[in-house]
Chain A
């Protein structure tokens, strides 16, 4: 009898305990849903728990940008919400996303509102400057070749005849091996997108002789009406002076000039001989040739500053559209006309925007309509074919092992350029600076190299870029992050230099070779020399000086949240005071 009572009691305890646990877990799930935690499912918005959805996890950072807009002077709305950081000491992982958005947030503007069956759509880009992906690797940036291709695809889906032109300035660092590979990859992407032509810009001239190998007039021609190569107007391999193409039923004549306003930025001609002629004189001749072909539209790709482009438009009113360079990175979305009918378009820089012009030959008033299109992730998706080009490009970087084979330079911070002052690796630093080593291992800096392989949470279809010097420069030890150049004893690969994986001490404190040697000697003989003290001073870094060092990697493109106001928050995540 007693045993039965005990057993019954135990069974009741177990059942009630199980019930209590289930209730507890349900309550926890309810709590997570109430604050909109991303578990891969739709997130209900405030005010309507059942129907509204957040578009994507990236929307969290979008709201974060809104939050940041008030960060300097609008503390009140922020005060009630403490941003959770790794230092908050929360017992459980923070939710990936927790947003309650406005019940009906302003939707992005629909594309081509009011456009009805244009005879042709011409899309313009320019001054991409090597930004083949959305303006760096931060979330919610604009641009990228992949989204650009999707824009053209969407226009094609409307069955509108479409073509595209670029104003030049495709790459950054054209004198480096990587610059040349990126240039080649970019041209392949533009060829896939069926661009009609590309103007010759500053960066293209900096490619020097190599440019001539990339110019393929039967695939994607380069245009320049006023550049003479090797004193020979008939030089084989020179860019074309003009092109006429048929888009749908519309005949388009296009030419390009290199402006005198950008001549000072062009490289000095030497062995690679070129001469920039006066644009208006060359243009007069080429326009006469174009007009003889009776095009419906005449387009000028003007690799010049806006004032000069405007003057050319005034001088030659027969030109219908002038694409200009040299404007602001984020251009004015309002259309600008020169005279009665010449449309001046400026798509900005870094490939964040595309300038679209619709041609409506039957319109009573304005035959050209203009729309500046921000290549955002809400309206434009990745294009698999471009993604493949990106993968091929990364494979090429890997095959050529540019991380190890591109030129290396002396670290200018070295007080003495002697072999002993090499990069040693954080583990060696940690032999003496134990607490700093312990802190460093817990920071994101320690996993910086690995993150190049995996990407960030929320970034789908991530392409491994651990062989890309432009990425490696900030994610390893021993590189100049702004010049994208390796220091002589810096990282050359995970297998070759495993001790330099991650963003380590010496990137900020300078290479530690000599300091380590002297300290090891001092540990034995306790003799303090002037040299010992000099190198200790060399390795020292104060918080005020640190900001400028941090900003070399946490720059506007790669970390738009980092500035003097947010610096303390960043600093607190890596602070490791004292020298043990």
Chain B
């Protein structure tokens, strides 16, 4: 019994001891995520009146042309022309610049140090400008910060124009359509296009010599025109065909070495539309509807749209009879606009609900309608919806 009580007492004491020890000795900390626990405080300005003075020989350096993946460095020199030690610390950069460890974190008066700024671009840029802040204890500097800058331009080893989607502006109605883009290298003066692969029978492509003026405008050393031919069999609606351009120009690897031959993939896209197109701020294309909205019936409402017509007959596009409208109060007029060299005719289409016409609502469930009978063989009848609420 006594033994049991003694044991119980020992256990109780041990349990208490554990708690006290835990209190006095905090657990070892697991490494923190993204920790900078050693970050020094921002250097304070001396109150004695003797101050350092940070003088940089230059604050900006131009790297000129760089390639994506190419790493470049520049050394900036700083000298302390003051009367007290100059403290230097790394501050922020506005992108992925790296600032090397400073040769010394403290410069005595009269001493110099080098700070190296290194940058490796990861994307093409016509121009770039990056900055790195150096925090000091020099009271002459705004916010105690000196800003170092590097600039230049990042050139790709190969580039296309258009850069992204190759959008074909217009498909010919009868016969194939051609579209020309370019592939240019600002770094190589003799790369070759090995093949052009489209993966569809509706499109073919060929590489042709490039115009020297185009090459010069794009700061290229060599390049090609890529002529894409689209057949007339492309159906009505949107299309997008990938085109793979295989070259013999080696890519630049992430470590700066040259790697495999480069391939570019562009998307040749566009739309085959019908012969009639309506545009305007009150036009809802995917519903083929004119939106007059809500308005006071006593004031009426008018919408002005533009109608483009392609492939009209020789005598010109015209309506065979006046428009047929529901409700009958709607007034629709179609007037030709100024002629141009464009391959279409242009008309002003005005849709009006006159002032004083009866109050009525035509919404999604019972839209108003405009029916146009035309002399166009491919669009003999055009139906438009009209949505409004004349209150």
Contacts and interface: CB of A to CB of B under 8 A. Distances in A.
Contact of B90 (A66, A212, A267): A66
Interface stretch (B46-54, B228-236, B342-350, B359-367): B342-350
A175 B168 CA distance: 10
Contact of A98 (B33, B92, B165): B33
A116 interface: no
Interface in B18-64: 18-20, 22-27, 29-42
A9 B101 contact: no
B209 to A, nearest CB: 18
A99 B36 contact: yes
A555 interface: yes
A84 B22 contact: no
Contacts of A31: 26-27, 29
B36 A13 contact: no
Contacts of B16: 16, 19-20
Contacts of A516: none
Contact of B33 (A83, A176, A234): A83
A84 B281 contact: no
Interface stretch (B74-82, B130-138, B372-380): B130-138
Given A84-B31, A273-B340, A412-B244, A35 B36 contact: no
B5 A8 contact: yes
B23 A27 contact: yes
B294 to A, nearest CB: 17
Interface string A454-487: 0000000000000000000000000010010100
B131 A330 contact: yes
Interface stretch (B120-128, B312-320, B383-391): B120-128
B324 interface: no
A6 B5 contact: yes
A327 B97 CA distance: 19
Contact of B308 (A13, A19, A69, A271): A271
B64 to A, nearest CB: 14
Interface stretch (B6-14, B106-114, B185-193, B325-333): B6-14
Contact of A556 (B20, B33, B34, B123): B123
A311 to B, nearest CB: 17
A175 B19 contact: no
Contacts of A412: 197, 199, 242, 244, 265
A63 B39 contact: yes
Interface string A234-262: 11110000000000000000000000000
Chain B residues touching A, majority SS: mixed
Interface string A20-38: 1111101110110011100
B195 to A, nearest CB: 12
B34 A61 contact: yes
B26 A34 contact: yes
B269 interface: yes
A326 interface: yes
Contact of B34 (A8, A67, A272, A551): A67
Contacts of A312: none
A22 B90 CA distance: 43
Contacts of B242: 409-410, 412
B122 to A, nearest CB: 5
Chain A residues touching B, majority SS: loop
A270 B41 contact: no
A555 B122 contact: yes
Contacts of B218: 264
A67 B9 contact: no
Interface string A436-458: 00000000000000000000000
Contacts of A215: 281
Interface stretch (A88-96, A190-198, A281-289): A88-96
A363 B42 CA distance: 37
B63 to A, nearest CB: 12
Given A72-B98, A410-B199, A236 B304 contact: yes
A68 interface: yes
B11 A13 contact: yes
Given A20-B19, A94-B33, A271-B342, A327 B9 contact: no
Nearest to B340: A231
Interface size class of B (residues with CB under 8 A): 35 or more
Contacts of B95: 330, 556, 560
Nearest to A91: B30
B127 A409 contact: no
A8 B12 CA distance: 11
Contacts of B91: 66, 106
A216 interface: yes
Contacts of B248: none
B4 interface: yes
A407 B101 contact: no
Nearest to A176: B165
Contacts of A579: none
A219 to B, nearest CB: 9
B247 interface: no
A231 B277 CA distance: 18
Interface string A37-68: 00000000011000000000000111111111
A20 B17 CA distance: 7
Contacts of A104: 41-42
Interface in B331-357: 337-338, 340-344, 346, 348
Contacts of A100: 35-37, 39
A305 B344 CA distance: 34
A63 B36 contact: yes
A99 B342 CA distance: 65
B95 to A, nearest CB: 7
Contacts of B130: 330
Contact of A12 (B9, B24, B169): B9
B90 A70 contact: yes
A125 interface: no
A480 B165 CA distance: 13
A84 B15 contact: no
A430 B32 CA distance: 34
B19 A5 contact: no
Nearest to B132: A69
B174 interface: no
A126 to B, nearest CB: 14
Contacts of A60: 33-34
B143 interface: yes
Given A12-B12, A175-B165, A264-B218, A209 B36 contact: no
B238 A330 contact: no
Contact of A417 (B9, B36, B199, B310): B199
A366 B28 CA distance: 60
B119 to A, nearest CB: 10
Given A66-B92, A231-B341, A9 B4 contact: yes
B70 to A, nearest CB: 12
B19 A19 contact: yes
Contact of B343 (A8, A65, A206, A271): A271
22 contacts: A5-B5, A16-B11, A20-B19, A26-B23, A69-B92, A70-B90, A73-B118, A74-B98, A81-B36, A98-B35, A100-B39, A102-B42, A105-B42, A237-B281, A267-B169, A328-B125, A330-B95, A330-B130, A548-B254, A555-B122, A560-B95, A564-B254
Given A6-B1, A36-B32, A63-B36, 4 more contacts: A23-B19, A206-B167, A230-B342, A556-B123
Interface of A: 1-2, 5-6, 8-10, 12-13, 15-17, 19-24, 26-28, 30-31, 34-36, 46-47, 60-74, 76-77, 80-85, 88, 90, 92, 94-107, 109, 173, 175-176, 206, 208-210, 212-216, 230-232, 234-237, 264-265, 267-273, 305, 326-332, 407, 409-410, 412, 417, 480, 483, 485, 544, 547-548, 551, 555-556, 560, 563-564, 567
Interface of B: 1-2, 4-5, 7-9, 11-13, 15-20, 22-27, 29-42, 69, 90-101, 116, 118, 120, 122-123, 125-133, 135, 143-145, 149, 151, 161-165, 167, 169-170, 179, 197, 199-200, 217-218, 238-242, 244, 253-255, 265, 267, 269, 277, 279-281, 283, 285, 304, 306, 308, 310, 337-338, 340-344, 346, 348
